[in-house]
Amino acid sequence: MAKVAFIGLGVMGYPMAGHLAMAGHRVTVYNRTMARAAKWVKEFEQAGKGGHVAAHTPKAAAESAKIVLMCVGADRDIRDVVFGDQGVLAGMKAGAVLVDHTTASAAIARELHEKAGEKEIGFLDAPVSGGEAGAVNGQLTVMIGGGEAPFKKARPVIKTYAKMMKLLGPAGSGQTAKMVNQICIAGIVQGLSEALHFALEAGMDANAVVDVISKGAAQSWQMENRASTMIDDKFDFGFAVDWMRKDLAIVLAEARRLGVSLPLTALVDQFYNDVQKMGGSRQDTSSLIRRFRE
| One-letter amino acid for residue 57 of the chain | T
Alpha-carbon distance 172 to 253, whole Å? Answer: 14
Using an 8 Å Cβ cutoff, are 54 and 40 in contact? yes
Instruction: Map residue 68 onto helix, strand or coil.
Output: strand
- How many residues can be counted in the chain? 294
Residues whose CB is less than 8 angstroms from the CB of residue 1 and which lie 6 or more positions away in sequence, other chains included = 23, 24, 25, 26, 48, 49
Residues whose CB is less than 8 angstroms from the CB of residue 265 and which lie 6 or more positions away in sequence, other chains included = 183, 186, 187, 248, 251, 252, 255
Annotated active-site residue in 178, 234, 246, 277: 178
Using an 8 Å Cβ cutoff, are 12 and 135 in contact? yes
Q: Between vectors from CA 199 to CA 196 and to CA 201, what angle results, nearest 5°?
A: 105
Long-range contacts from 239-243, C-beta under 8 angstroms, 24+ separation:
239/131, 239/132, 239/284, 239/285, 240/281, 240/282, 240/283, 240/284, 240/285, 241/272, 241/275, 241/276, 241/280, 241/281, 241/282, 241/283, 241/284, 241/285, 241/287, 242/276, 242/281, 242/282, 243/103
Examine the residue annotation and report whether 246 is marked as an active-site residue of this protein.
Answer: no
Alpha-carbon distance 263 to 66, whole Å? Answer: 43
* Residue positions annotated with a catalytic role: 178
